Structure 1
Amino acid sequence: MGPVITAWSAISACGIGRDAFEKASPRPSPLDDNSPGDQAFLASAFDTREMLGAKGTGSMDRSSALAIGVVDELLAGLDVDERTGVVLGTTSGSSQTQLEFTRESLTRRKPYFVNPASMPFALMNSAAGQAAIWHKLTGPNTTIAGGRMSGLGVLRYGVRLLATGRASGVVCGAVEEYSPARAWLEYHRGSRHVLGEGAAVLFVEPSGQARDPLAEVLAVETRVAVDGDRAAGLVRCLDRSFAKAGVSPGDIGTLVLSAPGGELAEAERAAVAGLRASVVNPAEVIGDVGAATGPFQIATLLRSPGLAVATALDDDGTVGCALLRVFS
């Protein structure tokens, strides 16, 4: 048996933790922040100071706080050692923090006195680094900036860390905050989807550990559709995954999509048209969570035993899929 997922947790508009994500049916919250949208799926139940305390959180941005909070939820029921790694996905870090830090560097009095406490959180790898520091996880620490493909990239990277013996287990996940800056960036990219925010993490480790596995990772395939045909590229990823695992398309019981709508959704639907599986899309429940889409997809498919596939596409032309065997 290959690497297995033995635990997971999530923070989203559904609430905090596994039970909330599996049971809640949230509604988008109204917005009044001068952003282009009028509503978003906000993780309203998560309050940074209430969950993490006042110490060390005064300048912390929401992206890093969500990452720390969800890893805290994950590790609450796990006994892990110092070789545990952390691999988190993102789009570009906290766009709101980056915008504010850049603005301060241009508007504050010379020599441009920015707030030094906010500098670490303006970095793209802040969430992964802060989560590891907070929880004293000294294994490999990596940030995968792959947009909507981040979830698959994180899972593949974590599996490789285990295969090379560089970590005893890996916290694999992604985080995406909601902010006016992110809303405007998505708007100018042409997105008109209802945004969401949240973080989800999986604990991936070698098989044969004391913990009961929730799912086995059979294959993770990605590629770049250099010819612009994302659907064909995704079909090739699916075919390669099935061949690697020795399964047929008819064996797939659950399919979890990633795209919230538009051309990406059309390409994704075209690529999986031949699969006769139950289809779900987390975006319908928690909104467009960007880079965090991947781990939320896998958390969703863990509800249904059998062979399951999560597919992903990003605007930059990257496509991919993950094939898992989910246990009862």
Structure 2
Amino acid sequence: MTGAVVTAWSAISACGVGRAALRAGQARPTRVDGGPGDEAFLAADFVVDEALGTKGTGSMDRSSALGIGVVGDVLAGLAVDERTGVVLGTTSGSAQTQLEFTRDSLTRRKPYFVNPATMPFALMNSAAAQAAIWHKLTGPNSTIAGGRLSGLGVLRYGTRLLAAGRASGVVCGAVEEYSAARAWLEEHRGRRGSLLGEGAAAVFVEPAGSPRPVLAEVLGIETRVAVDGDPEAALASGVRRVLERAAIEAGDVTTVALSAPGGLLGEAERAVADAAFSGLTAVVDPAEAVGDVGAAIGMFQVVAVLDRPGFALVTALDDDGTVGCGLLRVPDVS
């Protein structure tokens, strides 16, 4: 048991901005240019100038803006102190900003004739740092670059900050923007799965005993590396371990949220779910609503189960051989 609970959440995606929009789940792909594909699930309702204003956003990339937006939405109405932290997950930051900054350093008159205002946004930790600055959060600030395992990594990191007394509460989230650069990178990696999407999702995690209504208890998180090239076996081992540590039987789990990476990894994930939880009442695939949001998919899986009472398992697999799962208990408040 981690002793941590989720008490607030929000999301920005192709479904719209906020909790109600994601629950409605009504999204359509948008036509895009410049990449290998013709369509993507864009968060079209999130317009940076309208959501954040024009001051300080002129050079801001979309990844950072999404991070600021979702963290602000999570914190709306919450009374937090100076020890509140922010941990955000990512693949590598904004691929588009990194590409453009690198290109400018090579094509402008001299390598140092680049736009200095874009430099902070080319860094991997830009979204987390900008979110903390924007919302005046002075607690721990970290970035987890774990690919599709980022959601679980962020949640584990946040609960450890609480257990160590380093923070009074932590906004745990993940961000992924859509861009032509990201689309081409995914294409050359041989990616196969849902249409690409963009978005951000986050939860507020604090120690058990909070006066706020509890949306979920974080019971445990397990990660593995498939060193023998068998992600299915590695994931199955992690699932068994997280259930054992929480003293939960497989039959007690009522919901599994899949990361749906596509290809062989997707088949391995589905095989584990089918073998271990054949009596499930629900299998949730957030990518069906928001597209393949990369590193943000784990947090979308977490928020997707918050309306489903019972024990919920979140699974994840990444191309680098890492696999993981997280177990939550969602109370029945009906």
Structure 2 residue 288 is matched with structure 1 residue 284: yes
2:192–2:262 contact (8 Å) kept in structure 1: no
Alignment of 1:110-129 (within 5 A): 110-129=110-129
Q: Distance in 2 between matches of 1:117 and 1:253?
A: 48
In the alignment, is the contact (CA less than 8 A) between 2:17 and 2:45 conserved in 1?
yes
Cα displacement (A) at 1:110:
1.9
Residues 30, 245 of structure 1: alpha-carbon distance in 2 compared, 3 angstrom cutoff: same
- 1:52 and 2:56 matched: no
The amino acid that maps onto 1:119 is M
The 1:111/1:196 distance shift into structure 2, 3 A limit, reads closer
Identity %: 70
Q: Distance in 2 between matches of 1:111 and 1:185?
A: 24
TM-score (norm 2): 0.96
Partner of 2:240: 239
Determine helix, strand or coil for the equivalent of 1:119. helix
Per the TM alignment, residue 111 of structure 1 is displaced from its structure 2 partner at its CA by: 4.8
2:177 matched to which residue of 1?
177
Shift of 1:157: 0.3
Which string of whole-angstrom CA distances, capped at 9 and with x for unpartnered residues, describes residues 218-254 of structure 1? 0000011100110100011111111110010000000
User: Which position in structure 1 is the counterpart of 2:9?
Assistant: 8
What SS does the corresponding residue of 1:310 show, helix, strand or coil? Answer: strand
**Pairwise mapping of residues 264-303 of structure 1 onto structure 2 (< 5 A)?**
264-273=265-274, 274-275=276-277, 276-277=279-280, 278-303=282-307
SS at structure 2 position matched to 1:114:
coil
The alpha carbon displacement at 1:192 in A equals 3.9
Match of 1:318?
Answer: 322
Gaps of 5+ in 2: none
- Whether the aligned pair in 2 keeps the contact of 1:260 and 1:284 (CA below 8 Å) is no
**Cα shift at 1:18:** 0.3
CA distance in structure 2 between the partners assigned to 1:111 and 1:65 by the alignment: 27
**Cα distance between partner residues in 2 of 1:326 and 1:284:** 22
The residue type paired with residue 196 of structure 1 is: G
Return the letter of the residue paired with 1:232: A
Deviation (angstroms), 1:30: 1.3
- Secondary structure at 2:77 match in 1: coil
Give the residue type in structure 2 aligned to 1:214. Answer: L
Please show how residues 141-152 of structure 1 align to structure 2 within 5 Å.
141-152=141-152
Matched, 1:305 2:306: no
Residue 282 of structure 1 aligns with an amino acid whose one-letter code is: P
In structure 1, the residue corresponding to 2:112 is in which secondary structure? Answer: coil
Match of 2:263 in 1: 262
Runs of 4+ in 1 over 2 A off after TM superposition: none
Larger mean Cα displacement after TM superposition, 269-278 or 214-223: 269-278
SS in 2 for 1:79: coil
The answer (yes or no) to whether the contact 1:254–1:307 under 8 Å persists in 2 is yes
- Name the SS for the 2:6 alignment partner: strand
Aligned to 2:71: 71
What secondary structure sits across from 2:22 in the alignment?
helix
| 1:182-241 Cα deviation digits (max 9, x unpaired) | 000000001143100000000000011110110000000001110011010001111111
With over 3 angstroms needed to count, the CA separation of the structure-2 counterparts of 1:303 and 1:111, relative to structure 1, is closer
Q: Determine the C-alpha separation between the residues in 2 that align with 1:175 and 1:286.
A: 13
Q: Which blocks of at least 5 consecutive residues in structure 1 are unaligned?
A: none
Tell me the distance in 2 between the aligned counterparts of 1:110 and 1:55: 29
Q: Which amino acid aligns with 2:172?
A: C
Corresponding position of 1:164:
164
Change (3 A) 1:35 1:232: same
1:90-116 deviation per Cα after TM superposition (whole angstroms, max 9, x unaligned): 000000000000000001112530000
Conserved in 1, the CA contact under 8 Å of 2:162 and 2:168? Answer: yes
Structure 2 residue identity aligned to 1:99: L
**Mapped partners of 2:89, 2:106: distance in 1:** 29
- In structure 1, C-alpha distance between the alignment counterparts of 2:300 and 2:110, rounded to whole Å: 45
Going from structure 1 to structure 2, the CA distance change for 1:200 and 1:111 (only over 3 Å counts) comes to closer
Residues 261 and 317 of structure 2 are in contact (CA less than 8 Å); yes or no, is this contact kept in structure 1? no
CA distance in 2 between counterparts of 1:94 and 1:109 reads: 25
Partners of 2:94 and 2:107 lie apart in 1 by 20
Structure 1 letter corresponding to 2:37: G
> Conserved in 2, the CA contact under 8 Å of 1:260 and 1:283?
no
Which residue pairs with 1:251 in the alignment? 252
**In structure 2, distance between residues paired with 1:114 and 1:140:** 31
